[in-house]
Structure 1
Amino acid sequence: MIGRGSEWCRWEPHIHAPGTVLNNQFGGKSPWDDYLIGIEMLTPKIEALAVTDYYLTETYEKVLEFKRAGRLPDVQLIFPNVEIRLDVAAKRGFVNAHLLVCPDDPDHLEQLQRILQRLQFQAHDDTYNCTRADLITLGKRADNKIIDDHAALRHGATQFKVNFDQLRRVLRESEWAKTNILVAVAAGSGDGTSGIHQAADATVRQEIERFAHIIFSSNPGQREYWSGQRSVTQDDLKERYNGCKPCLHGSDAHDHKTVGQPTDERYSWIKGGLEFDALRQACIDPEGRAYVGSEPPRSAMPSQVISHLSISNADWMANPEIQLNPGLVAIIGARGSGKTALADMIAAACDAIPAEAWNTHGAISPSFLARANKLMGEATATLTWGGGTSVTRFLDGRDANDHLSFPRARYLSQQFVEELCSSNGVSDSLIAEIERVIYDTHPHEDREGAIDFEELREYRTSRFKHSREREVEAILELSDRIATEIEKEASVATLKAQVAQKVGLLENYSKDRAKLVVKGSEVQAARHTEVVTAVQAKQTAIQQFTNQRRAFVSLQDEVKSTRSSRAPELLRQAKERYQVSNLSVEQWEEFLLIYKGDVDKSLSHYITWADGQINAMTGPPLPPPATGVQQIAYFPADADLTALTLNLLTAEMNRLETVIGADKVVRAQYTALTQRITQESAALETLKKRLTDAEGSNARRKDLQTEREEAYGRVFQAIESEQDALLDLYAPLLARLAQSSGTLKKLGFTVRRIVNVNAWGAVAEESLLDRRKAGPFQGRGALIEVAERMLRTAWETGSAADVQAAMAVFIETHQRDLLRHAPYGSDQQAELRGWLKQFAHWLFDTDHITVRYEIIYDGTDIRKLSPGTRGIVLLLLYLALDEADDRPLIIDQPEENLDPKSVFEELVGLFINAKSKRQVIMVTHNANLVINTDADQIIVADAGPHSTGGLPLIAYKAGGLENASIRKAVCDILEGGEQAFRERARRLRVRLDR
C-alpha cells in the first residue's frame, strides 16, 4: 500500500438527489440518469459525495445502488447527509442541522436509523419518532385532507422539529454516534444560525455552534472568523465553541441545473484520502485541511516537487515504486528499518549528497548509502518531478557530483546537522548558511553584482573600511609629527642655554682677538670685523640656496619614482578595490596620478636658478695677491659689502688679517680666532633658528593634536558608517523578523563594536610603561582598570564625538602620569624620542576595536547556544526564512538533539508553515512532528532480517493520517503517538481510535 497520503480532493457535502423529501425539482423523463450524468461530467470532478435528504436516507441508498452498478466512477466516497430542522427559529423558518454519517460500518444505516428513532416530536397529543412511518402519520394528522403517503411524508417533514437539547443528548449518549456522526450547521441568515437575531437566543446560537463540528458557509468572512483570523482568536474559539471549525459549502442542489454547481464556483476541498476520516481530520485542522474556492490551495511549484521514486536493480526493495506527496512527508519506522535509506536514495537522485559524504564509508557513518556502498551494485534511483522531468542516478555515487550537477533538493542529513550544531562550537558552515539566507533576502537588483553574502558585505562596507584605514594612517603620521614637536618643545631650555653659551664664547673670542691687534692697526681691525660679518652673511645666504638646490634635486628623484612606481601602484590598488566599476583600460588611465604642471621643466629651471644665485654670490675666483701688494684693498671703503661676492670679501678679509698682526705668529692666531668666531657665529645662528622653531612648537603641537583628535573621531565615524551599512544589509530580514511572532520572533541580528580593552592596555603595560616606577600605573592592570572605566563605554556604543571627548578627558587626566612611567630618562634623548612615537601610536590605536555582526536567538549569540538550540536555529533557517529556496527539503531526524517540549513549541509551527511553500520530507521518530504537523503522507519503513553479505529486504507502506492502519502504525512505532493523537483531538467530540 503506497498511497500519496493527504491530497486536495473536491467534496460535495450537501447535495440532494431525485426523490428528495422536500422541494424535489429533479424533473424529466429519466431524472436519475440526468442526475448521475450531471455529476459524472463535472469539472473539477467530485470524488466524495454526501447525499442529502430530510430525516431519511432513501436517496443515499439509491445512489449506492447506482455506484455498485458502475456509475459515478470518479466518486470514491459516498456517505449520507441527514438534514433536520431544529426547533430554533431563524430569520426564514428554522435552523437546519446536518448529520454527516461515516459509511465505513457495514451496519451504518441500521445504526443511523436507531439514532434517528430516538429523535421525537410532540404534537396532536402524541409523540412522533423520526422515521418514515411516523413522518407520514404526522403529515396526515397535521392535514387530514392528505391521503397520499408521499404528500403526507413531505408535509410531515415540514412539521417535524427536533429539539436541540434532545439532539445533543441523543448523540452524546450513543457511542456509535460519537464515533460515526459529525454535525454541521448552516451559518446563513435564512435557515442558519446567523438568522437567530433575538438577544435572548444568543446563548442558544452559541450552544448550537459549539456543538457543531462543521459550519456550512462559503462566505470568506465566516471562514476567517471560524479559523480565528477575525474578531476572535483561536483561543477565544476554543473557549466559546470548542475550537476552530471547518467551513464547507455544497450546491444544495434540488434540480438538475444546480447539481454540483455552487454559486461563484465555491467548491469544497478536503485534504486527505477519500475516506470519511479525512473529514474528521478537517475538523481537527480546519485551516490546513478544509478550503472553499474554485481551486484548492497551492503549495510548492509542481516543477519543484518530487512525485515519484523508482528503484531499479535492487532485489532488497520489496516495493521499488513509491509515490510522494507534494506537502509534508514523514518517514517513520523502527531502528534499522530503512528510514534513512529512503531519504538517502531520494537525496542521491537529487544530487544533494556532498562528495565528502560519499567518501565516508564504514559502519560509523550515519548514511545508509555510505555504509552499504559496496552492496549497491547496479542499483539506481529515478525521480519523476511534478513538471514531468525525470533523472536517474546510481546509488553507489559513481555519477554523483560531476561538474554539471546541481543539488535539486536541500538535504539536512544527520552528519550535516551534527557538524553545524556540534557542541565543539559553531562551524563556519552554520554562519555561512545563515549569511546565504540573508543574501537571498535581497532582491537581485540590490545585490550590486555580488555573487554571495561575503562579496555583498565587502561591497557595502569597503568604502568605510578604507576610510578608517586612511584615518589610521593619518593618525600615525600626525603622532610622529607631534612627537617631534614635543621633543622640540622639551629642548627650548637647552637651546636657550646653548645660545647664551655661544654668545659668551663669541664675546670671549672677540676680546681675545682684539688683544692681538697691533697698535696703529685699529682701523683695519674694525674694517676686518665688518668684512667678516659680511662674509658670514654671504655664506649663510649661499648655504640657503645650496639647501634649496639639494631639495630641488631630491624632488626630481621623487617625481621620477612617483611616475615609475608609486602612481602605477596606487592605480593598481584602486583597480583592485573597485573592480565592479567595470571601467575599461583607457578609462582607468584617467585615474593615473600625474602632476598638474610641467614639473620637470620647472625643477630644471629651479636648479639652474639656484646655481645662478650661488655662482653670483660666490663670484669668480681671484688670483693670489702679488708680493708686496697686500696693502691695497680689494674694494673702496665705502663699498656696499652686501653687494660684493663671497670670493671678493674673503680675499679682503685675508688681506686685512695680514696687516693687523705684527708677525706671523700673531697673524696666525688672529686668523684662527677669526675662523673660530665665524664658525661659532654660524652655529649661534643655527641655534637661534632652532630655538625660534622650538618656541613655536607648543602652538604647532596643539594644532596637530587637534587634527589628530579629529582624525580619531573620523575613525569612529567610519566605524559607525560600517555598522549602519551592515544593519542595512540585514534590513530585509530584520523587517520580516519584526513582523513575525512565536519562534521566528526569537531570532535576530545585531551589529556592535567588540572592544578588547585588555589587549589595548596590555600593549602599554607590557611594552611601553616602566611599572617599577612609582605612580598611579605602577601595578599590573591599573591602566586597564582606568581604560575600562573611562573609555570602554564610548568605544563600544558612543558616537564619534563621544569617543573624541572620552579620549580627550583620558589624555588630560592621565598623560602626565603615563609619561612619568616612560622607561627612558631625559638624558636618553634618542631612546625617548622613539618611545614617544610608540606611545602616541598606542594611545590612538584602534586595532582593538572591531565591528561584528551577531546572530542571536532568544537574546543569546548562537555561538553560545547549546547544540540542541542551534538545531532549532538551523531548522528555523530552512523552514521559515529560506524563502528563496523552493527546492524539496529533506531532513533526517530534525528532533535528534531537541527535547520533546522544544519539538512541540518550536518546530511544529515551522513545519506547518514550510509545507505550504515547499515539499518537505523528514525522517523522524517523534510523534509530535508527525501528528501535530498533520503530516500529509506517512511512509512506514520496515526491514526484514539481515542476510549474510547482503542487505535486508526493505518494505514501505504509505498513506495519510486519516487512514486507520497508518494511524495504528504511528501509535505502534512512535513513542507517545496515541497520546499525541488524543491531545490533538481533545477539544472535539471526534473519535479517531477506530
Structure 2
Amino acid sequence: MIGRGSEWRRWEPHIHAPGTVLNNQFGGGTPWETYLTSLETVAPRIEAIAVTDYYLTDTYEEVRKHKAAGRLPDVQLIFPNVELRLDVAAKTGFVNVHLLVSPEEPNHVAELHRILQRLQFQAHGDTFNCTRADLISLGKKADASILDDRAALAHGATQFKVNFDQLRRVMRESDWAKANILIAVAGAAGDGTSGLRQAADATMRQEIEKFAHIIFSSSPAQREFWSGRKGVTLDQLKERYDGCKPCLHGSDAHDQRTVGQPVEERYSWIKGGLEFDALRQACIDPEGRAYVGTEPPRTAMPSQVISHVAIADANWAATPEIPLNPGLVAIIGARGSGKTALADVIAAGCDAITPTAWSASENISPSFLVRARQLLGNATATLTWGGGASVTRFLDGRDANGHLAFPRARYLSQQFVEELCSSAGVSDGLIAEIERVIFEAHPQDDRDGAIDFVELREFRTARFQQAREREAEAIADISDRIATEIEKEASAAGLALQVTQKTGQIKSYNEDLAKLVVKGTEAQANRHTQLGQAVQTLRGTIQAYGNQRRTFVALQDEVASTRATKAPELLRQAKERHLHSGLNQQQWDEFLLIYKGDVDKSLAGYVVWADQQIAALTGPAVPAGDPNTPLFPDTADLSKLTLNTLLAEMTRLEALVSADNIVRGQYSTLSQRIAQENTALQSLQARLTDAQGAAARRKELQSERDAAYGRVFQAIINEQAALADLYAPLMARLTASTGTLRKLGFSVRRVVDVAAWGTLAEEDLLDRRKAGPFQGRGALIALADTTLRPAWETGSAADVQAAMANFIAQYMRDLISQAPYGQNQQAEFRAWLKQFAHWLFATDHISVRYEIVYDGIDIRKLSPGTRGIVLLLLYLALDDVDDRPLIIDQPEENLDPKSVFEELVALFIAAKAKRQVIMVTHNANLVINTDADQIIVADAGPHPMGGLPPITYKAGGLENAEIRKAVCDILEGGEEAFQERARRLRVRLDR
C-alpha cells in the first residue's frame, strides 16, 4: 500500500439513476448507456458516487453491476444513498433525510435492508415496513385503481413517511448502523430543515440537524453557519447541534441532462482516499476535508510540490517509488526504521542539504546519507515536481551544491536546527533567518532596491548614522574650544597680576631713565619719550600687518592642500555613502568642493597689500645727519611718520641727552628695554581682554554643544524609528494574529552601557581618592544610573539635553575638583580638560538595538528548545514568500506533548494550506491533530553485515484503517490523540 493519502477529489453524494422510484425522467431506450457515459465523461471527473433512491437500493445495485462489467473506470467508490421522507412537514413537502451507507462490508446491502424494515408507517388500519413489498402494498391500498407493481411502488413511496423519533431510535439501537451509516439532511427551504420556519418547529429543526452528520446544502451562508464562522460560535454549535457539520451538494439528477451537473457548478469535494471513511473524516473535520465549489481549495503551487520520489541503484530501498501528497506529509516509524533516511533523500534531491551538513563527520552526523555514505554506491534520487520537471542527484553528495544549484526546499534537519538554535553564541544564524523573513515581508516596491535585510537596514538608517557622526565630531571640536576658553578664563587673574606687575616695572624703568638725563636736556628727553611711544604704536601696527601676511600665506597653503587632497577625498567619501545615487562621473564632479571666488588671486593680492603696508610704515633707511638738526619739526604729526624716520630722530636725541658716552649708552639701552616692556604689556593686556571675554564665549559654545548633543540624540531617535519601521509589516501581522504567534514580537530600543561610560572616567579621568561625590569605585556609575540613564534610554532629544544640563550644573565643579592634575599644571590640565569634555558628551556607549522576543524574552536568552519553537514559527507561519517545500526532521524535539499541541499543531494546519510540508515525527499530536494528509510508515529489516538494512514504506491517509492502526501502534499516545482531535473539533459520531 503506497498511496498519496488525502487528496481533494470530487464526490457526487446525491445522484439518482435510471429506474429511480420517484420522478424518473431518464427516458426510455437505453437510459443506462447514456447515464453511464455522462458519468464517465463529466468534468471535473467524479471519483466517488452515492447512488440515491427512495427507500430502496435497486439502482445502487444496478450501478455496481455496471461497474463490475468495466464501466465507470474513474469511479473508485460507489455507495448507497437511501432517501427518506420524515413525517415533518417542510415548506413544499416533507423534510428529506439521507442514509449514506458504507459499502465496505460485503453484506452491507442486506444489513441496510434489516435497518430499513424496522422503519414503519401506519395507515389504512395497517402497519407497513420500509420494504419493497410493503411499499407496493401501501401504494395499492392508498389508490385501489393502481394495479401495476411499479406504479404502486412509486405511489407508496409518496405516502410512506418515517417517524423521526423512530428513525433516531432505530439508529441508536443498532451498532451496525452507528458504525456504517452517516445521516445527511437537506438544508434547503423546500424539502429541508430550512423550511421549518415556524416558532413551533424550531425545536424539531434543531433536533433533526443535531441528529444529522451532514447537511446537504451548497449555500455559502449555510457553510459558514455550520463551520461556526457566522451566526453561531463553535461552542454554540457543540451545545446545540453536537458540533460542526460538513456541507455537501450533489446534482440530485432525475434526468440525463443534470447527471453530474449541480446548479452553478457547486461541486462537492472531499479530501481523503476513495473510501467511505474519508466521508467520516470530513464529518470530524468539516473545515479541512469538505468543500463545495467549482474547484477544490488551492494549496501549494504545483510547480513547488514534489509529487514523486524515485530511488535507483539502491538495493536497500525496498520501496523505490513513493508518491507524495502536496499537503502535509508525516513520516513515522520506530527508531532506526528509515524515517530520516527518506527525509534526507528528498532533501538531497532538492539540493537542500547544506555544505556544512555534507562535510560533517560520519561518526557524529545525524544525517542518514552522511553516515551511510560509504555504502551508498551510485544510488540516486529522482524527484518529480508537480509542474512536470524532474531532477536526479547522487545520494552520497558528490554532485551536491554545484555552482548552479539552488535549494528547492527548506530542510530543517536536526543538524540545521542545532546550528541555528544551539546554546552557544547568540544564535546569529537564527536572527539572520528572522531578518530574512522581515525583509521579505516588505513589498518589492518598499525595499529601496536592497537585496537583503542588512542592506535595507543600512539604506534606512545611514543618513541618521551619518548625522550622528557629524554631530559627534562637532561636539568634539566644540569641546576642544570650550576647554581652551575654560583655560583662558582660569588665566584671567594671573594675567591681570602680570599686567599690574609689568606696568609697575615700566614705571620704574621710566624713573631710571629720567635720572640719566643731563641737566638742560630735559626737553630733548621728553621729546625722546614721545617718539618712543609713537614707535611703540607703529611697531604694533606693523606687527599686525605681519600677522595678516603670515595668515594669507598659510591660507595659500591650505587652499592648495584642499584642492589636491581634502576636496577629492570628501567627494570620494560622499560617493561611498551614496552608492545608489545613480550619478555618473560628470554629475559627481559637480559636487567637488571649490572656493566660491578666485581665492588665489585674492590671497596673492592680500600678501602684496600687506607687504606694501609694512614697507610704507617702515619707510626707507634714514642716513645719519647733523646731530643738532631735527629730522622733522616739533609740530609734525608723529603718526604720519615712518618707523625708520622716528628711530633715526630718537638716535639723534639720545646723543644730545648726555655727552657722556657711557651714560648715553645706558640711556639708549634703557629706552629700548622700556619699548620692549611696553610691547609685552600690550600683549598681556590683549590676552587679559581675551581671557576676560572667555566666560561669555564659553557659555555660547556650551549652548552650541548642548544643541549638538540634542541633535545627536535626535539622530539616534530617528534611527530607532527607522528600524521600527522595518518591522512594521510583520508587527502588524503579529498584532492581528492569535495563539502562539502573538508570543513572537520585535522591539527597537536604545541600549545604554552606563558602566562603560562611567568606568572610562573613573579609571582614566578622575582621581577617586579625592573627597567628593565621585570618591571610590562605582560612585559615578551609580549616580549616572539614576540621573542620566532614564533620559538616555527612553527620553526625547530635549529630555536628554535637560538631563545632561542638570547633571553638569549640579556636578561639574565636583568633577573638575577630582581631576588628577592641579590647574597650575597648565599643560597637563589643558590636555585633561579636552579628554574630560570628549568623555562627558560622548555617545559611544549608546546604541540602537532591535530585539526579537518570544513571550517577552530576548531570543538570545531562550533555551535551545524554545529557539526551536521560534524557528518553526518562522517557517510555518511567517515565511509567506517562501513557497518551497518545507522538510522538517522531528519538530517536536525538546518539547513536551502538551507544548507540541499548544505551540505547533495550529501552525502546521495553517502552513499546509500554502506549501508542501514533509515532517519526520514520533509525536501523535503532530500526525493526528494536524490531520496529516499523507502518513508514510517506515520499516527497516535486519541489518546485514557491511550493508544497509532493507527499508520499506507504506503510505495513505488517516481515513485508511490500516494507517490509523499503524499510527496508534507506532506513536505513543495515538489513541489519546485521536480522542483529543474529536474533542477539539467538537464531533461525536457514535449517536
TM range (shorter): over 0.9
Letter in 2 for 1:210: K
Shift of 1:160: 2.0
Partner residue in 2 for 1:779: 776
Partner residue in 1 for 2:340: 340
Letter in 1 for 2:749: R
- After superposition, give the CA deviation of every residue in 1:705-724 in whole Å (9 maximum; x if it has no partner): 11111101101111111111
Partner residue in 2 for 1:879: 876
Shift of 1:234: 2.4
The separation in 1 between residues aligned to 2:77 and 2:827, in whole angstroms, is 101
How does 1:324-335 map onto structure 2 within 5 Å?
324-335=324-335
Letter in 2 for 1:88: V
* Structure-2-length-normalised TM-score: 0.98
The separation in 2 between residues aligned to 1:677 and 1:989, in whole angstroms, is 119
Letter in 2 for 1:428: D
Shift of 1:425: 4.3
Letter in 2 for 1:313: D
Count, aligned residues: 989
- After superposition, give the CA deviation of every residue in 1:284-312 in whole Å (9 maximum; x if it has no partner): 11111111111111111111111111111
Partner residue in 1 for 2:765: 768
The separation in 2 between residues aligned to 1:426 and 1:18, in whole angstroms, is 72
Letter in 1 for 2:228: G
The separation in 2 between residues aligned to 1:361 and 1:336, in whole angstroms, is 19
The separation in 2 between residues aligned to 1:552 and 1:563, in whole angstroms, is 17
Letter in 2 for 1:164: F
The separation in 1 between residues aligned to 2:742 and 2:210, in whole angstroms, is 33
Shift of 1:226: 1.3
The separation in 1 between residues aligned to 2:344 and 2:8, in whole angstroms, is 28
Shift of 1:145: 3.5
**8 Å contact from structure 2 (residues 619, 643) kept in 1:** yes
Mean Cα deviation higher: 878-887 or 124-133: 124-133
**8 Å contact from structure 1 (residues 52, 82) kept in 2:** yes
- CA separation of 1:204/1:991 partners in 2, compared to 1, >3 Å: closer, same or farther? closer
Partner residue in 1 for 2:977: 980
**8 Å contact from structure 2 (residues 244, 987) kept in 1:** no
Partner residue in 2 for 1:56: 56
* Structure-1-length-normalised TM-score: 0.98
Shift of 1:983: 2.1
How does 1:313-324 map onto structure 2 within 5 Å?
313-324=313-324
Letter in 2 for 1:854: E
The separation in 2 between residues aligned to 1:807 and 1:124, in whole angstroms, is 104
Partner residue in 2 for 1:44: 44
Tell me which of 743, 746, 749 is aligned to 1:749. 746
Partner residue in 2 for 1:248: 248
Shift of 1:913: 1.1
Shift of 1:96: 1.0
Shift of 1:991: 6.5
Q: Verify: 1:927 aligned to 2:932, yes or no.
A: no
Mean Cα deviation higher: 298-307 or 154-163: 154-163
Letter in 1 for 2:412: L
Tell me, what secondary structure is at the counterpart of 1:139? helix
Partner residue in 1 for 2:785: 788
Tell me, what secondary structure is at the counterpart of 2:852? strand
Letter in 1 for 2:941: G
Partner residue in 2 for 1:733: 730
The separation in 2 between residues aligned to 1:671 and 1:425, in whole angstroms, is 84
Partner residue in 1 for 2:394: 394
- After superposition, give the CA deviation of every residue in 1:629-679 in whole Å (9 maximum; x if it has no partner): 322222221111111111111111122122112412222222222122111
Tell me, what secondary structure is at the counterpart of 2:400? coil
Partner residue in 2 for 1:608: 608
Partner residue in 1 for 2:662: 665
**8 Å contact from structure 1 (residues 517, 525) kept in 2:** yes
Q: Verify: 1:890 aligned to 2:887, yes or no.
A: yes
The separation in 1 between residues aligned to 2:400 and 2:40, in whole angstroms, is 48
Letter in 1 for 2:722: A
Q: Verify: 1:453 aligned to 2:450, yes or no.
A: no
Tell me, what secondary structure is at the counterpart of 1:955? strand
Letter in 2 for 1:690: R
Tell me, what secondary structure is at the counterpart of 1:491? helix
Letter in 1 for 2:908: F
Shift of 1:141: 3.1
Partner residue in 1 for 2:160: 160
Shift of 1:381: 0.8
Shift of 1:426: 3.5
- After superposition, give the CA deviation of every residue in 1:256-279 in whole Å (9 maximum; x if it has no partner): 111111001111011111000111
Letter in 2 for 1:838: Q
Task: Structure 2: state its 5+ residue gaps.
Answer: none
**8 Å contact from structure 1 (residues 871, 898) kept in 2:** no
Partner residue in 1 for 2:840: 843
How does 1:132-143 map onto structure 2 within 5 Å?
132-143=132-143
Q: Verify: 1:714 aligned to 2:694, yes or no.
A: no
Partner residue in 1 for 2:806: 809
How does 1:20-169 map onto structure 2 within 5 Å?
20-169=20-169
Shift of 1:514: 1.0
Partner residue in 1 for 2:205: 205
The separation in 2 between residues aligned to 1:900 and 1:655, in whole angstroms, is 116
The separation in 1 between residues aligned to 2:207 and 2:326, in whole angstroms, is 39
Letter in 1 for 2:670: L
The separation in 2 between residues aligned to 1:455 and 1:522, in whole angstroms, is 88
- After superposition, give the CA deviation of every residue in 1:331-356 in whole Å (9 maximum; x if it has no partner): 11111111111111111111111112
Shift of 1:118: 2.1
The separation in 2 between residues aligned to 1:786 and 1:124, in whole angstroms, is 104
Task: Structure 1: state its 5+ residue gaps.
Answer: none
Mean Cα deviation higher: 4-13 or 854-863: 854-863
Mean Cα deviation higher: 708-717 or 834-843: 834-843
Partner residue in 2 for 1:463: 463
**8 Å contact from structure 1 (residues 97, 183) kept in 2:** yes
Partner residue in 1 for 2:697: 700
Letter in 2 for 1:706: S
Letter in 2 for 1:979: E
How does 1:351-750 map onto structure 2 within 5 Å?
351-623=351-623, 625=624, 629-750=626-747
**8 Å contact from structure 1 (residues 891, 922) kept in 2:** yes
**8 Å contact from structure 1 (residues 857, 873) kept in 2:** yes
The separation in 2 between residues aligned to 1:239 and 1:665, in whole angstroms, is 132
Partner residue in 2 for 1:798: 795
The separation in 1 between residues aligned to 2:164 and 2:677, in whole angstroms, is 127
**8 Å contact from structure 1 (residues 420, 426) kept in 2:** no
Partner residue in 1 for 2:851: 854
* RMSD between aligned residues: 1.4
Mean Cα deviation higher: 791-800 or 134-143: 134-143
The separation in 2 between residues aligned to 1:187 and 1:26, in whole angstroms, is 26
Mean Cα deviation higher: 721-730 or 711-720: 721-730
The separation in 2 between residues aligned to 1:648 and 1:231, in whole angstroms, is 115
- After superposition, give the CA deviation of every residue in 1:464-523 in whole Å (9 maximum; x if it has no partner): 000000000000011111111111111221111111111111111111111111111110
Mean Cα deviation higher: 945-954 or 195-204: 195-204
Tell me, what secondary structure is at the counterpart of 2:662? helix
- After superposition, give the CA deviation of every residue in 1:919-941 in whole Å (9 maximum; x if it has no partner): 11111111111111111111111
The separation in 2 between residues aligned to 1:575 and 1:377, in whole angstroms, is 55
Tell me, what secondary structure is at the counterpart of 2:251? coil
Identity %: 74
The separation in 1 between residues aligned to 2:872 and 2:380, in whole angstroms, is 30
Partner residue in 1 for 2:988: 989
Letter in 2 for 1:783: L
- After superposition, give the CA deviation of every residue in 1:774-813 in whole Å (9 maximum; x if it has no partner): 1112132222222111111111111111111111111111
The separation in 1 between residues aligned to 2:231 and 2:990, in whole angstroms, is 30
Partner residue in 1 for 2:955: 958
- After superposition, give the CA deviation of every residue in 1:120-143 in whole Å (9 maximum; x if it has no partner): 223334333222222223333333
Partner residue in 1 for 2:270: 270
Partner residue in 1 for 2:14: 14
How does 1:177-188 map onto structure 2 within 5 Å?
177-188=177-188
